[in-house]
Amino acid sequence: MGFGESLNDLVQAVPELGHLAKTAYADPSAAWTATMNFALNLDVVAGVMINGLIADGGLLANGSAYDRGRIVGRYAIDIISIIGSGGALAANKGLATTSKGIKVLAKESKLFRRISHAIPPKAMIETEKAALRLDEIATKMNASAKSGLKFHIERDPKLAQAITTGYHKALKQGRTATAKYLERIAASKQPLTRSVDEIAEFHHNLRPSMAKAPSASREGLFSRAIPSEGVIAGKKVKFSKENVFQDHPGLVTNEHRFTIGGEFGHRGLYMVEGSADKAKHVLSAETRTPVGNLISDEKQIKVNGILDLTKGETRNILKLDQKDFSGLDYDYSQAIGDVAIEHGFSGIVFESTQVAGAINVVLFK
């Protein structure tokens, strides 16, 4: 009786499970195995579970394979109970926290008691196996990404949930490059303007056309400007002209238009085509920094293998509009930089968003 009611409630919550009802009473174990595997394969459920496992850190690190399976399996049932009761939106009600919090919410669920007592032993074993596959995904995720997810779990659990849901979806679809980029997004610890789904789709769709984009060369006078003072390793330092073109972590920005930040991000040397005075003018306009607080230098440079986004032909091949990489947010432009790096481009040429006619260049480091 409990089994039938539990499965019926789940079917109502997730209509796609309806076909399982036909076999539910004939073969309860098989029906529950299929049900739990289906639920754990739902991106929203998987995302909640991955976030919880990451937030708990070493909760399962010292357990035996048997113990890990039992714990993670029960963890999965808790989550599925909540999802079944409240629908997918329940994932945004603070689920991306810890297993303890999830357990509390699960016990408030109308399905928890029924599901807990209704699953046949054989189905529970299969549930544990399926749940452990998600635990393996969480374990293999880049350490910087996990750190970033913990950061978001505390400050913006909805964003943490969106990232891990998108991450699981990308892996399931075989989009490994996009999954890795979502790890970079997590590691950057930055807020997003667009949705994770939009960014992931944009990143994935850009990759085939990027393979067809031509590389370009640029030669001439290039300049760069930096603040006269800054903070490196927690210490306030003063910079000189000799520092302007140095490849130094404190000077080569990694959170800018085409380079996503964080320990798992990209670094780039941003320059302006033209004189040192022009570089000061452009940086002042783009960062609202007084010209008097900047120092600059210039040199003759030749760069090869760059992506030239000032050319309409190249933008057409990439199916890009100027607004995709010139807005106030960097959601799409950083995805462009990531895909360009993946395809071997050494940098990007682009028009300044603040100074008409000014041409900027970023060289990836």
Give how far the C-alpha of residue 131 lies from the chain's centroid of Cα atoms, to the nearest Å: 22
Query: Which residues contact residue 339 at a Cβ distance below 8 angstroms, ignoring those fewer than 6 apart?
Result: 177, 203, 206, 207, 210
Taking residues 40-49, report their average pLDDT. Answer: 78
Tell me, yes or no, whether 162 lies in a domain: no
> Is this structure's pTM higher than 0.85?
no
Judge residue 10's burial from the number of C-beta atoms within 10 Å of its C-beta, 0-12 exposed, 13-18 middle, 19 or more buried. Answer: buried
Tell me, yes or no, whether 152 lies in a domain: no
pLDDT for 108: 67
* Per-residue CA distances from 251 to 255, 270, 297 (Å): 11, 10, 14
Coil, strand, or helix at residue 151? helix
DSSP 97: S
Taking residues 280-288, report their average pLDDT. Answer: 89
Tally of domains within the chain:
2
Q: Is pLDDT of 3 > 60?
A: no
The reply to whether 339 and 220 lie within a common domain is yes
**Among positive and negative, which fits the CA dihedral 296, 297, 300, 302?**
negative
Taking residues 254-266, report their average pLDDT. Answer: 88
Among 115, 140, 165, which residue terminates a domain? Answer: 140
Tell me, yes or no, whether 276 lies in a domain: yes
Tell me, yes or no, whether 241 lies in a domain: yes
pLDDT for 146: 92
pLDDT for 7: 46
| pLDDT single digits (tens) 75-120 | 777 777 766 665 544 444 555 456 666 666 666 666 666 666 666 7
CB 39 within 8 A of CB 82: no
DSSP 173: T
The reply to whether 134 and 231 lie within a common domain is no
The reply to whether 220 and 136 lie within a common domain is no
Q: Could you tell me the residue range of the domain that residue 337 belongs to? A: 216-364
Alpha helices for 141-245 (secondary structure H):
143-155, 157-172, 176-188, 196-210
Helix (H) or strand (E) holding 306, with range, is strand 294-308
pLDDT for 101: 66
Among 140, 175, 205, which residue terminates a domain? Answer: 140
